[in-house]
Amino acid sequence: MKKIIKNKINKFPKEVILWGGTGQAKVVRPIIEHYGSKVVAVFDHTPKLKPPFKEVPLFHESEFPEWLSKQTNKQNIGFCVTIGNPRGNIRLKIHEMLKNSGLMPVTLSHPSAIIAKNAQIGEGTQILAGAIIQPEAVLGKSCIINTKASVDHECILEDGVEIAPGATLCGSIKVGKYSWVASGATVLPWLTIGENSIVGAGAIVVNDVPANQVVVGIPARKLRDIEPIK
């Protein structure tokens, strides 16, 4: 977990592309435009996907190299990867690809979100409406803290994590990279969620969750294993 930033939230170039053309794009675009930037293109891998916005062109991901070759000011174009979990690893790979292409990663927060002054936020992370990030929390690269999610004091989220709408992380929790805490789940203090794991919607986690597992229920128990990410 590298390149933690503190003071680059909502500081975008004038033009931004979104990579991912479904619901996440629709909630992120208003944040970008609220701060005076413009979404100029959307990219997605899904064949025959309906464009999420009438006035913004949608491209297949295979068209990206040609599109990029036509940009004369690519160093002044930002990007946001609007792909939710359980594809945090894919989101991170696309983030690195776009950054290596010369585009600028944007880190964004809805104006209604609350972020403690000493929280650390990784590049490319998205903090959505009503979310709360408490003191000394550390968020890695390309995380998503979704609508009204709460990340309490001293939590550590590694790269590619998503905390879904209404989920709660109590204090001093560590969440391994690519993991997903689904809607309305609660993780009690001092626990660890292993890499590439999923906490099911509405679950209450009272024990550590190993890597590569799905847990569900109250209290949360193992449902199944997940194939490790190589």
User: Nearest-CA neighbor of 149 among 192, 80, 199?
Assistant: 199
Q: Which of 45, 60, 110, 153 does the annotation list as catalytic?
A: 153
Q: What is the CA radius of gyration of the chain?
A: 17
Handedness of CA 211, 215, 220, 223 (dihedral sign): negative
Annotation says 60 is catalytic: no
Active-site residues: which are they?
A: 153
